[in-house]
Structure 1
């Protein structure tokens, strides 16, 4: 990748931003040396590392390599057997401590966290904690070695301390004794590493010893008394031994470190690499960048791309395509409209992507791997361009024109400017045609209308323009691919106050063909704006419809839930009502049976029936069911009409049945209602057309009346009185079959009491019938031991 393109596209500023994101000197060094790669495999690897580091930072932002110093010179000294200084050993300990911290950061906190491309780098880190602990225990600082660094050093320092205490004791006795008047100050000082006393010069003879120094005035002499010379000499010897012991400690620690030179080198390099990778991730976080997709077929598709060196609140995202249906893009439009920014955005994001950096663009943005990026971008704002400027641009173009191929990206800014417009336009078209024939991916900005026409009429070449708001005289910086741009010079001048007469005169100066072409562009621009407004309105309507559809679905879901709740409550209430009615009916039946056994009169039973009817009406009102309209009164029966088998309706109970016995002298008789045989008064009866027996065998006649089939008209009881056991069983067998087919729940078998032989034979027969669920003797008042109630299986 040529350095000129890196400089023109300001890639060095991106490298500086990346360097600021690193936390260690080795990491910053790698950031400063970042260079775009041309190998797809390497680019994909670096992009994956950046993505994985970004995910880790989003989970835990606490990554830092700390103050990692360059230990490579120290490692080379260890390899030749040299001893390191305390500072160098402390740098090694710091490196190992940072290694341990970074390795701990690299461990996955959760079992479900997937492995990524950084795991292998974290796994290569070896903290060697024992070596770091030994160094920290022995070396307190660059200038201080711990007493416990070795046994010899501990012993020497104890001796030094003891000797120093003896010197202080002797000198203090001299200060507090007869030499008090001879001293300038009653203090003990150090000169040349030896203990001395400040003696007044006129008392020199009273203090025998060695003079080590004197004051600037000569009034004070610093004398080492003879009595402590031997002790001072001993301290100096101990100090030499101390340095020897310190040298031994450093040599031993250096020997320990030399066993891990390769490990230390790998730790240093891997920490630098991790710091470099996480710096790329931090930069992506700052830029709100995403990982681009890469291809090798020259396709560029940037979605919502932003120039990374423009402030976030000012930059306008743009969509840029190149290499799909066209390989040459001609961008036109007014000055300061964003044409050059579009070029630089494409070039700089390409360099960033091939350097393993995420790019400030939308998801699914695509970049191609280019072997070279050539850029000729000058100052398009200058209105005074000399021949030398044109020559320098042309020299730059010539330098890469022959080198560019299908794997190159070429960027031209104001191609052909700086010379005669006609010649410049012709030259620009020729250069672009040459690159187009070679299949070079090219982007060029221009003001020339000839290039707009060239893009419109040449296959594989596309126009683009930077949008400009004529009303506000401000560029919108939107890049519109497929639409050639206008210079808008006349419109801008008119808005700025230039007289209209001058503008009209200027219009006459341009050719009719150019004016017609500008009118076409104006029409296209107006149509585009109108189309965009329609699309925005359609988008707004779609969003409204989508929102309302969602609301309706939510409302429907809510109604369904409410319906289910209402039905559930209704079922519960209905169940409770039915349970109450059942319990009341059961209680009433028990009382009816009790009344039958006790011989209670019909008036009392009538009162109970009325109470039951009221309870039924009350139940109906609780369930919200409208009470049925009272039926029209039927035909009142006469005593001679009430023969056994006559269908009647019991008014008080609204039940249908058949007469079982004729009325007695009081008008009371028995009526069979299903399995219920009850005693009623004839005044509580009315004649019915037929008994209401609900079975599957019912059919409807042409008159609409319901008739029962043979099996459905079976009586609910059979009379076997006076028959032998064999005769009774034979007749009973056929009757039970008919009754079971008619779906009767139970029947009455009348066999009488007698000797009990007939009852016993019938019971033995009933025990052998599979469709008989149970049988038992009738209750008192319903036949007692002379009648057996048979219940069928349902």
Structure 2
């Protein structure tokens, strides 16, 4: 990717924002070296890592990486046999300790069956060295100070130092109190040249004897080491020298212990930097409400609700930006300050971010392409030193761009052909666009020339667009309108500002007739677009409502079918139990008859008759696949008296219903879902009353005094975090409503929302199990959840 485009589109500012979110020196180095690439496989891997980081951030609060310094110079010194100081060893120890903690962290993620694309692979590359990590932790504190536990010798020496210091202080405390206080400038014990001294007035320096180590700036105070503590200070000094030597020995020993593991420690630090970088990308996505885009195979770019990441989210206007699928060129026209240039930069910058593996500031489902080159001619690059005019500087840049573009390029032109005669500029702009189109490159350009509106209308693969302008408020809305060219609003603005009507009419007479017709055509297109958009929103509302009702009916049918099968299975089992009991009794009776026959010897009861009787009893068993042959159950059904309010299965439709009232001798009015039908008793099977709170209604529950809770939650079109929050609230409401199961519709899309909901349901305490819906009920686009 050329470096000029990174500067033009301010990619470095994105890297600065990302760098602020890193915690390690090597993580910052990863950000510093970050650049867009054109290798699809590499980009895919980067985006998967970003997706993993966002998932861990959502489920576990992020990867626990502390602040880490760059230990490469330390390892280089180890390589040449040098000794590290305490701070350097502490920094290496922190890397080793963090490695152990992250190894356990990834182990916990694996135990929780959290699926990740690439992070587990990074975790497996880290090598833990527990003994060395423990040795450093016991010997060196975070600030580099060597602990007393580093060696028995050091502990003994420091104990001797403390005793010596205590003896010196006791001696000096005795000197500065009582009658000697009059000789002192201040009654305190201080240090000079690493020896304990007392502040004595200059004229009394000889009172205490000993050695003078320093004097005050005024010369009125001298710092004296009294002769009583000279020997004690000497012993203290000897202990301090021994302490320093022992510390140097410990540091050398620790440095030698690090040497064999130099490569492993360096690789651990590299992996930690990578993980820190991945974590920073995830935090960037959360902070700026960015998403991981999908990669298009056909170079189709669709940015849904795209926002420029460097404009505050409360100020920026989101737009849908599309190029590549139906058209390769987009021509944006309209007045200045309407947002045309920002739209160009948004497309270019988000494409650069996506090809760098970063989340982009757009909505879920956004798609980017992979371009080998992105080029832009944006802004005024007039050079005084090179004596280039605005037009010349633009043309110099355009000439360079045209020499490089190919079918894998994205080109952004701002005010194409501006800075010269309008007719010549328009002709040049059209010729340049033809040249870029001949190379099958993708281009988005802004212009003021009306000739290009006709060009965008007539050329295949090219579409007009504009930035909406509100004439009532005399201000731009910054909304991008694809398919509608921009028009001049000078007459409307002048009229709103109070310009005389006659002046405006005279101006309209002067203006070229074709231009006037074009503006009127554009105005009519805008009105028609607004009307179509309003109608679309209304129709979309009704379609969504119809889809929701249809889905509820599908769920209800599925529930009815499942309940019917359960009742059929229970009936088959009960019937077979009855037959089994009868068979046992009949077998006992047959055995008695046979014994009687054998005992009597008269042969009145034939053996084949006994076998035939047993066969008839066995034939009473029912085929569990053919319930209609179950004579026992049918007879029991006929003997049961139906009552209003009873639940029944209507055999013809295979659905469950409720008896309302009896009509005639054997006909009943039955409520089947939203339908009421007349059904004969012969076509109904009475169901046993359900236990309360086992299962509520199928589609929805309506409480006379409370809100309506649906058994289906539709999350299509929701943002990721909003969707998960809505799932949490909905499950609580469904549990309170007494549902045994509900359906969550998340759509198929990128699979990110489906995966997030799956991970959430795994950890929900009230969820018994969940699975994708049947194919005729949405398949993998919906999840059926059963509660405990």
Q: TM-score with structure 1 length normalisation?
A: 0.65
Shift in CA distance, 498/239, structure 1 to aligned 2, threshold 3 Å: same
Per the alignment, do residues 356 and 179 of structure 1 end up closer, same or farther by CA in structure 2, a change over 3 Å counting?
A: closer
Secondary structure of 1:260 counterpart: helix
Which residue pairs with 1:81 in the alignment? Answer: 81
Q: Aligned equivalents of 1:216 and 1:237: distance in 2?
A: 30
* Structure-1 residue corresponding to 2:672: none
1:402-436 CA-to-partner distances (Å, cap 9, x unmatched) read 12222221101111222222121112111111211
Alpha carbons 2:466, 2:485 under 8 Å: kept? yes
What CA distance in whole angstroms lies between the structure 2 residues aligned with 1:45 and 1:194? 63
Q: Counterpart of 2:24?
A: 24
> Aligned with 1:52: secondary structure?
helix
Match of 1:533 in 2: 534
C-alpha distance in structure 2 between counterparts of 1:558 and 1:239, whole Å = 84
Q: Distance in 1 between matches of 2:333 and 2:185?
A: 93
**Equivalence map 1:469-508=2 (5 Å):** 469-508=470-509
Counterpart-to-counterpart distance in 2, 1:508 and 1:254: 90
Matched, 1:347 2:348: yes
Report if the CA contact (8 A) 1:201-1:221 is conserved.
yes
DSSP 3-state at the match of 2:412: strand
CA shift in 2, pair 1:243/1:326, >3 Å: same
Structure 1 segment 354-393 matched on structure 2, within 5 A: 354-378=355-379, 388-393=389-394
Q: Cα distance 1:560–1:339, how it changes in 2: closer, same or farther (>3 A)?
A: same
Distance 1:404 1:560 in 2: 61
Conserved 8 A contact 1:447-1:487: no
> Is 2:111 aligned against 1:104?
no
**Is 1:440 the equivalent of 2:441?**
yes
1:421 maps to 422
Label 1:455 to 1:129 Cα distance change in 2 as closer, same or farther (>3 A): same
Label 1:262 to 1:512 Cα distance change in 2 as closer, same or farther (>3 A).
same
Check 1:195–1:356 CA distance in 2 against 1; reply closer, same or farther (3 A cut): closer
Q: Is the 8 A contact 1:298 1:441 kept in 2?
A: no
Residue 276 of structure 1 corresponds to which residue in structure 2? 277
Instruction: Report the Cα offset of residue 169 of structure 1.
Output: 5.9
Please give the residue correspondences for 1:686-697 in structure 2 after superposition, counting only pairs within 5 Å.
Answer: none
Alpha-carbon distance between aligned partners in 2 of 1:226 and 1:769, rounded to the nearest angstrom: 132
Over residues 446-481 of structure 1, what are the superposed CA-to-partner deviations in whole Å (9 max), with x where a residue is unaligned? 121111111222223222233334444444443333
Cα deviation, 1:177-212, whole Å, max 9, x if unaligned, reads 997887777765544333445566666666543333
Q: Which residue of 2 aligns with 1:741?
A: none
Query: Counterpart in 2 of 1:42?
Result: 42
Pick closer, same or farther for the CA change 1:564–1:529 going to 2, 3 Å: same
Structure 1, gaps ≥5 residues long: 381-385, 568-760, 774-794
**Which residue of 2 is the match for residue 67 of structure 1?**
67
The CA distance in 1 between the partners of 2:314 and 2:184, in whole Å, is 77
Distance 1:473 1:129, change over 3 A: same
2:450 is matched with which residue? 449
Partner residue, 2:300: 299
Separation (CA, whole Å) in 2 of partners of 1:24 and 1:765? 102
| Equivalent residue runs for 1:131-530 within 5 Å | 131-140=132-141, 142=143, 144-164=145-165, 167=168, 189-196=190-197, 207-214=208-215, 222-226=223-227, 228-295=229-296, 297-378=298-379, 388-530=389-531
**C-alpha distance in 1 between matches for 2:203 and 2:241:** 36
SS in 1 for 2:252: helix
Residues in 2 aligned to 1:559 and 1:69: alpha-carbon distance in whole angstroms = 64
1:770 and 1:498, CA in 2 relative to 1: closer, same or farther beyond 3 A? same
Give the Cα separation in 1 of the matches to 2:48 and 2:475: 41
Cα deviations across residues 622-641 of structure 1 (Å, max 9, x unaligned)? Answer: xxxxxxxxxxxxxxxxxxxx
Instruction: Give the Å deviation of 1:84.
Output: 0.8
Distance 1:153 1:493, change over 3 A: same
Change beyond 3 A, Cα 1:90–1:544: closer
SS in 1 for 2:38: coil
Kindly indicate whether the alpha-carbon contact (under 8 Å) linking 2:303 and 2:368 is maintained by their aligned counterparts in 1.
yes
- CA-CA distance at 1:511 after TM superposition: 1.8
In structure 2, relative to structure 1, the CA distance for the partners of 1:564 and 1:71 (3 Å cut) is closer
Q: CA deviation at 1:296?
A: 6.1
**Contact 1:298-1:406 within 8 A present in 2 as well:** no
Task: State the shift of 1:242 in Å.
Answer: 1.9
Distance 1:156 1:449, change over 3 A: same
Cα separation, partners in 2 of 1:12 and 1:497, compared to 1, 3 Å: farther
Return closer, same or farther for 1:450/1:189 CA change in 2, 3 Å cut-off: closer
SS at match of 1:409: strand
Question: Larger radius of gyration, structure 1 or 2?
Answer: 1
Query: What is the CA-CA distance between 1:171 and the residue it aligns to?
Result: 5.6
Shift of 1:349: 1.2
Change (3 A) 1:143 1:364: closer
Kindly provide the CA deviation profile for residues 102-129 of structure 1, in whole angstroms up to 9, marking residues without a partner as x.
Answer: 3332222535333521111111223423
Q: Deviations over 1:486-518 (max 9, x none)?
A: 223322332333222222111122222222333
**CA distance, structure 1, for counterparts of residue 35 and residue 179 of structure 2:** 81
Alignment partners' CA distance in 1, 2:113 and 2:567: 44
Q: How far apart are residue 379 of structure 1 and its match?
A: 7.2
In structure 2, the gaps of 5 or more residues are 382-386, 569-599, 614-788
- Aligned to 2:111, what secondary structure does the other structure show? coil
Given that residues 68 and 98 in structure 1 are in contact (C-alpha distance below 8 angstroms), is that contact kept between their aligned partners in structure 2?
no
Q: Distance in 1 between matches of 2:555 and 2:299?
A: 48
Which residue in the other structure is 1:710 paired with?
none
Please give the per-residue CA displacement for 1:502-551, whole angstroms capped at 9, x wherever unaligned.
22111122222222333333333333333333333332332344455567
Asked if structure 2 preserves the Cα contact closer than 8 Å seen for 1:387 and 1:419, the reply is no
Mapped to 2, the partners of 1:565 and 1:68 lie a distance apart of 61
- What are the superposed Cα offsets for residues 606-631 of structure 1, whole Å, 9 maximum, x if unpaired? xxxxxxxxxxxxxxxxxxxxxxxxxx
Tell me whether 111-120 or 225-234 shows the greater mean CA deviation.
225-234
Q: CA deviation at 1:248?
A: 0.6
Residues 170 and 450 (structure 1), Cα distance of their counterparts in 2 relative to 1, 3 Å cut: closer
In structure 2, relative to structure 1, the CA distance for the partners of 1:83 and 1:519 (3 Å cut) is same
Q: Is the 8 A contact 2:88 2:144 kept in 1?
A: no
Q: Is 341-350 or 160-169 further displaced after alignment?
A: 160-169
Aligned position for 1:119: 120
CA distance in 1, matches of 2:187, 2:317: 80
Instruction: Give me the whole-angstrom Cα distance separating, in 1, the residues matched to 2:278 and 2:245.
Output: 45
- Do structure 1's residue 33 and structure 2's residue 33 form an aligned pair? yes
1:459 is paired with a residue whose SS is coil
Q: 1:466 to 1:138 in 2, by over 3 A?
A: same
Structure 1 residues 424, 141: closer, same or farther in 2, change over 3 A?
A: closer
Please report the TM-score for the alignment, with normalisation by the length of structure 2: 0.65
How well do the aligned residues superpose, as a CA RMSD in angstroms? 3.8
The residue number in structure 2 matching 1:616 is none
User: 1:259 is paired with a residue of what secondary structure?
Assistant: helix
Instruction: State the partner residue of 2:384.
Output: none
